[in-house]
Structures are given as structure tokens and as C-alpha cells.
Amino acid sequence: MDSLSDTTGTTRPSLQFEQIARIDARDKASGRTRYMSDLSFPGMLYATFVRSRFPHALIRRVDTSKALALPGVVAVLTAADVPGFNGFGIVVPDMPVICGDKVRYLGDTVALVAAESGRIAEQAAKLVDVDYEELPVVDDPVAALLPNAPKVHDKGNICLHTLIAKGDVEQGFREADLIIDHEYRTPRQAHVPLETESGVAVPEADGSLSMYAGSQYAFRDQLQLARILGMNPRMIHVVSNPVGGGFGSKDELTIQGGLALLAMKTGRPVKVSLSREESLVSGWKRHPFIIRMKTGFKKDGTLVANDVVCYEDKGAYSSLGGPVLNLALEHASSLYRVPNTRHEGWAVFTNNGTCGAMRGFGVPQVLFAIESNMNEAAEKLGLDSVTIRHRNVLHQGEVSPIGHTLRTGVSMDLVLDAIERSDLWQRRTEYKRAERPWLKRGVALAIAPQGAGLGLGIPDYGGAYIDLEKDGTFTLRIGLVEYGQGTHTGFVQMAAALLHVHPSRIRLIAGQTRDSVDAGPATASRSTYTASNAIAAAYDDFCNKVEQAVDGPDSTGVASSCTSRDGGMETPAGFRSYEQLAEDYAQEVLLRGEGYFVWPTADREIPGAAGLPHWIYSFAAQAALVEVNTLTGETQLLRVATALDTGCTINREQVEAQIDGGVAQGQGFALSEDTLITKGQVRSKNFSTYVIPTVQDVPSHEYIVLENPEGTSPLGVRGIGEVTMVPIIPAIPLAIHDATGVWVRHLPATPERVYRLLHPMMDE
């Protein structure tokens, strides 16, 4: 097992972060922000993606002649028109940009159309004649594993199989006084960002391509597009900001490949903005899981074994399905002290749409199962739900359920203590009084860790530049995209705190390939933590550069004696304001601090599980008050308390906003959201059938923000973007149990599902 070592960073706890409104708030609130769907260029064409008519079929022939003959149509492309590699995918590039021989789900593209107007492009799309040979549909991930199941891909239906084991799980069950053994099912949640997949590809006069499309990693889009186009990536410039929401749906490529092909073919800018229906049919989704979890306990609630089998419905293409499965398996016993574990999972190809990254990345699915088993055990053993968790939570230095040592900042007990002290938990008896006899109220809590960063075996790095401008202001350059989290405001606040200037003195250039620096993807709760390290390193380098500038060639340029204060720096030549430094040293040459950072990782991989383990985790606990109408099965989420460890809070308002958003998304997962697919056909194509919480549904909120500094961040921060939506997911069905006595093991807990649990005889 890997050796125990302490944290690597040096925190700077004395920093003061100026509390400001979001730097983009005014433009967004006033409508001045120009999203990708707002962009327009001279001579611009409009694209339509011709989607498959069948969820699984061979393509015999594609005839584009009628479409091409329609006046106003400029280009119709098929698979034969892809000049480079006809595939994309962050991990495995198995999704064709344009399908040539086979379609695997309804969102597959079989041709691309560019026309003078969107209406003409849509008419032309209907004229593309595709001759299909239908194939049997594979719509169940368990059935898809059978030897005689139709194959979605030539290599078969297994995208990934992982088995992680520790101790002797059978011996653990023999020692157990109580075994809880159930199957859980989770929904195919859609991200539904306000802005659907939208963008414009612009061919430039020098033969290069500019891609304006909301995404979560401009530098990776650049390489994926270079691979498709067969171009040098230096000839592709990607602008990914602003993004009208993502939640993981824009981590993978969406419309960029098709737009790039059409732009390079026609030599004109080409735009598309998907309709909500097309987005819901073709876009990435959260993987539905079937989870079989058998958990053994001693009489005092101590865990002795957990045997977990997960079936992940991958949908048609790989994307990030493998890493999602592995992160789920890392968290399948949460961070509880379980001596004997067996976590096994299959990511299985089906014709059920296609799934990829989504906030939580597999963790919400398995936390629903383990937290439910914990509460059921507590009830059967006569314990309360806080006591059983306290008895099992891990601390720093202990060994995780998958066998690695937890080395830094473990806050499971901290968030559990905090949620126990919350007003909602302390006064739960009072809160549970309902006004009508058919209305039942319940309160429950849950806790969650969430691995942050990309994990072992995946280089996880980031850079930032701090430039002193000629007028004494600063430009901060960092590649990380912002898609609603508020991170860009936080980046400016961090740099401002380090430089001792007001945030308004710093201009940010981010989320694009030409003028910012690669800092990795805006995923995996990594942005704020990565930026804290890269910006602090850039600040240190900037101090060195100032010393070199002031001292001249005699400077060692290693450990600077310069320090910032009051809008300037103490230098070997005395205090200089930034305006003076700029006047003296930044008129002819660029005074730039460069900072680079590599994430700390474990020194040993979990055998057979790529990307595992993680080194750093986020932590949250949440308690939920629900009211169940026993006559209709409808559940309302009335009140939530969240205890969240930020490590160090950069912007309190944004932390609360992340909690609000996380709870709403978790509420949707738990109560209403599911993309229904039958025989490969999508049944919930718009917001009348895909039901998300609205402002009328979200609960009142109690925020408890904890600051246990993460030692590997120089500012002490840790990511919070994902974990804010995780514990609420089990807390809601467990609160339904507290209210009514029924255990909900299939989410979402729709009125129909809860009603049937409350009235089981009605099914007969």
C-alpha cells in the first residue's frame, strides 16, 4: 500500500478575498452577454444535422442528390467527406462525426446540411434519402451482456468491466449480525442547460478555423477537431466562453465536428443552435445505473462488508462512460470504514441514447444505494442515522474501502457534526408537523464525499499567467472555462488577494486557446483548486520577475524578496505602486508571471481500475424535509440544510449559489427527472414530459459553510461544484421513508412510484 505522507502545499490563510458580485453579472442580467447562439458573421450559413430514423440500423445507401438540388443549399456532407479521422470521444473516439455504415441511436448523424437559411437546411435534411436495414434494439444493459444479445459495436457490448476487491467479503458477511441486500435504480438525467448545443465555425483567410462553441475544455476541443479535420491544431482556434450552462453536457464535443466540416467545405461561417427536442434526443445524459448492493453490519452498526454490482447503461458510445463507472466504484462504499469490499461494475453499450459526463460523475447513483442501506440498517438495529455514520466514517490516515490511504483533508465527520447541529435536524420534530392528515412529513440526512480531479494515471495540470499592463492594471490568463459556476469571479478574487489590488483592476482572459494558457478541463470539481495553485505560482513568478526587473542582472530570480501590499510591491528598491512598476518596467517588455501546477496523486494505482484512486475529495452533508401527499403520491421538498466544506471560501455568494443549484439538480434526480426511452425511442423530448424543478419547487435553505483548509492548495480551497448535489439525492427518498414508512429504491420518486409503494394492492 502507498506510504503516508503529509500535504504538499503551503497555505496562505491571511489572504482577504474582496467580496464582489459576479464579474459577468451586469452583462448577463442586462442581456449584453453574447452567447454562441447570439453570434452572427457575414455570409453565414445555417446547418442541420440529419439524424438517424432508427435507434439501431445498418446504412445501405445515402442519396443526397435531392437535397443538393434544393435552391439555397450550399453543401450536403456524408461520411465520405470527412478528411481526417471520422470519430470523436474524450477517452475512446468511437462516435462517428457522420455515420457511414451503421447507426446506434436516434441522435446519430447520417449527413450534414449547410444552407442559406435554417428553414432551407431543415427542408433539405428531409430530402436526404437514407436506405436503412433495421437491426434489433438493445435497450437493457443487463440483457445486453447475454451472449446472444445483438451487438451495438463489433467488439461487443462491454465498454468496461472493473472489479475492485479488498479483504474477504464472504467472511465479512459470515461475521455480520445484519445484512441489507437490495437493488437500486437511478434515472437517465438530462443536463438541460439554458443554452442548447450551439456554435459557429468560421474559416479564416489564412486557412485556419475559428470555432465558437460553448464547451468545457477549449484545448481538448482543438485537438479533437484537428483529428477530425486532419489539420495542424495550431491552425484551429477555439473559443468556449461564454457557455449558457453545461453540467457536463458540453465536456464532450457536440456540434463542433459537424460545423467544422461544413465550414471548411463551404469556406463560409456555419452556425447551428439545436432545438430543445433535438438536444434532448441527441445530447449526452447521465448514465442510469442498476445497483445490487449487499451490506453487512455488526449489532452496533459497524460495517463489516459491502458487495456491490453496478450495471451502467452506457448508451451508444464510450465518451466518459469508463471513468464514470470507475468513479462510481470508488465511492460505492462511500468513505466508510469497510474492511471487506467487492465493487464490480459493467459499463454496457445499448441503443438508449448516449451518456457521458454529468455533475457527480457516477457518485450520486451509488451514494443513493449506500446511504439507503445505512439508514435501513440503523432503523433495524435501533440506532439513529447520525450515530451509525459516526461509527463508520473514515478519517485522514485511514484506509479507504478500495484500499488506498486517505492522505489529505478528510471532512466526513466535520460535515456530519455540522448537519447534526443544523436547525432543520435539531427541530425536525417540529418541522414534521403537517397540516392535513393525508399529508405526511419526514426528515432525513445523508453525507457524501466526491473525488476531485482527474485521478491517477491521467496527467492533471494547469497554468496561469499574470501580466502587468502598461497602465498598471493586470490581465489574468487561464484556460479554464466558466459555464455558470462563478469560477471566473473567484479566479479574479484570488489574483486580487495575492496582488493586493481591487478585483476591478484585473481583466480576465479565459476559456479559449489563443490568448489563455491550458489549465485542463472545467470538470471533476477541479477548476477552483487548480486555479488556486496555478495563480499562486504565477504570482510567485511575477514577484521574481519584478525583482529581476528592479535588481537587473544581479537578481538570483529564485526566491523573491518582493511582496505585495496596498496596490503595489515592496521591492529591493523600496515600495513601488503597480503604476510605477508598469511605467518603469512594462512599457517595452511584457512583465509576466507564469505559474504551472501538477495535481498530487497517489503513487500506486488501484489494480484494474484506471484513474483510481483520487487524492483529494470534497465533502457535504445535507438534510431534507419532505411532505408526501399520501392520496396522490406527490412529494414536495420543503426545506434543506447543507453543510459544506469549502476549505476556504473565496466568494460566499457563489458558494450559496452552487448549493442552491446543486440542490435543485439533486431534487430533479430524486423526484422528477428521467429521459424515458422505450425500444430506443425517446419519449420525453421536451419540458412537458421531462420535468425539472422550477423556482416554485425549490426549497428554503439553511447554509452551513465550513472551512477546513485543503493543505495542497496554497489558498486552502477545495472544489464544491459536484458534491452540493450528491447527499440531497439519498436524503429525499430517506425522508419519504421517514414520512411514510416506504423505502424508495427506484428514482425518481415520481407520484406514480410513491403511490404504488403506498398502495401496493392497487397494482393487482
Partner 1 sequence: MKVRIKLFQDYKRYHDTPDYELDLPEGTTAGAIVQELGIKGPELAYLILILKGKRVLDDYILHDGDELVFAAPIGGG
Residues that bind partner 1 (CB under 8 A): 84-85, 87, 90-91, 93, 217, 219-220, 223-224, 226-227, 230, 233-234, 251, 320, 323-324, 327, 357, 361-363, 451, 453-455, 457-463, 517-518, 520-521, 523-524, 534, 594, 596-598, 611, 722
Question: How far apart (Å, rounded) are the C-alpha atoms in residues 188 and 196?
Answer: 18
Q: Where are the beta strands (DSSP E) in 329-460?
A: 340-349, 354-355, 439-452
Which residue, chain included where needed, has cell 515600495? Answer: 575
Nearer to partner 1, 90 or 272 (CB): 90
CB of 596 to partner 1, least distance (A): 3
Nearer to partner 1, 252 or 376 (CB): 252
Question: How far apart (Å, rounded) are the C-alpha atoms in residues 284 and 454?
Answer: 20
Nearer to partner 1, 188 or 440 (CB): 188
Q: How many H-runs (helices) and E-runs (strands) does the chain carry?
A: 19, 30
Nearer to partner 1, 278 or 594 (CB): 594
**Alpha-helix runs per DSSP H in 128-233:** 169-175, 218-229
> Peptide bond before 613: cis, by omega within 30 degrees of 0?
yes
Nearer to partner 1, 458 or 657 (CB): 458
CB of 4 to partner 1, least distance (A): 23
If DSSP codes are grouped into helix, strand and coil, which group holds residue 148? coil
Nearer to partner 1, 661 or 733 (CB): 661
Q: Round to the nearest angstrom and report the end-to-end CA distance of the chain.
A: 54
Residues 709, 712, 715: CA angle, nearest 5 degrees: 55
CB of 641 to partner 1, least distance (A): 26
CB of 722 to partner 1, least distance (A): 8
CB of 513 to partner 1, least distance (A): 10
CB of 458 to partner 1, least distance (A): 5
Nearer to partner 1, 87 or 167 (CB): 87
Q: What is the DSSP string of 63-106?
A: E-HHHHHSTTEEEEE-GGG--S---B-SSB--B-SS-SSEE-ST
Strands 616-629 and 591-598: unpaired
CB of 197 to partner 1, least distance (A): 18
At how many degrees (to 10) do helices 728-740 and 652-671 cross?
Answer: 50
CB of 748 to partner 1, least distance (A): 22
Nearer to partner 1, 234 or 380 (CB): 234
Residue 433, classified by CB atoms within 10 Å of its CB into exposed (0-12), middle (13-18) or buried (19+), is: exposed
Nearer to partner 1, 214 or 472 (CB): 214
User: Bridge-partner residues for 643, per DSSP?
Assistant: 621, 704
Question: How far apart (Å, rounded) are the C-alpha atoms in residues 122 and 760?
Answer: 48
If DSSP codes are grouped into helix, strand and coil, which group holds residue 369? helix
* Cell numbers found for residue 452: 476531485
Q: Which amino acid is at 726?
A: V
Phi-psi category of residue 753: left, alpha or beta, with phi > 0 → left and psi -120 to 50 → alpha: alpha
CB of 86 to partner 1, least distance (A): 10
CB of 218 to partner 1, least distance (A): 11
CB of 483 to partner 1, least distance (A): 15
Cα 582 to chain centroid, rounded: 40
Question: How far apart (Å, rounded) are the C-alpha atoms in residues 241 and 212?
Answer: 8
CB of 212 to partner 1, least distance (A): 20
User: Bridge-partner residues for 273, per DSSP?
Assistant: 198
Cβ neighbours for 359, distance < 8 A, ≥ 6 positions apart: 191, 247, 248, 662, 665, 721, 722, 725
Nearer to partner 1, 255 or 327 (CB): 327
CB of 42 to partner 1, least distance (A): 31
Nearer to partner 1, 202 or 357 (CB): 357
Nearer to partner 1, 315 or 479 (CB): 479
CB of 611 to partner 1, least distance (A): 5
* Cell numbers found for residue 753: 412510484
Cβ neighbours for 553, distance < 8 A, ≥ 6 positions apart: none
Handedness of CA 242, 244, 245, 249 (dihedral sign): negative
Nearer to partner 1, 100 or 233 (CB): 233
Q: Contact, 473 vs 505, CB < 8 A?
A: yes
Cβ neighbours for 705, distance < 8 A, ≥ 6 positions apart: 644, 646, 649, 652, 655, 656
Nearer to partner 1, 203 or 521 (CB): 521
Nearer to partner 1, 521 or 668 (CB): 521
Nearer to partner 1, 307 or 541 (CB): 541
Cβ neighbours for 486, distance < 8 A, ≥ 6 positions apart: 22, 651, 654, 657, 658
CB of 328 to partner 1, least distance (A): 9
CB of 84 to partner 1, least distance (A): 7
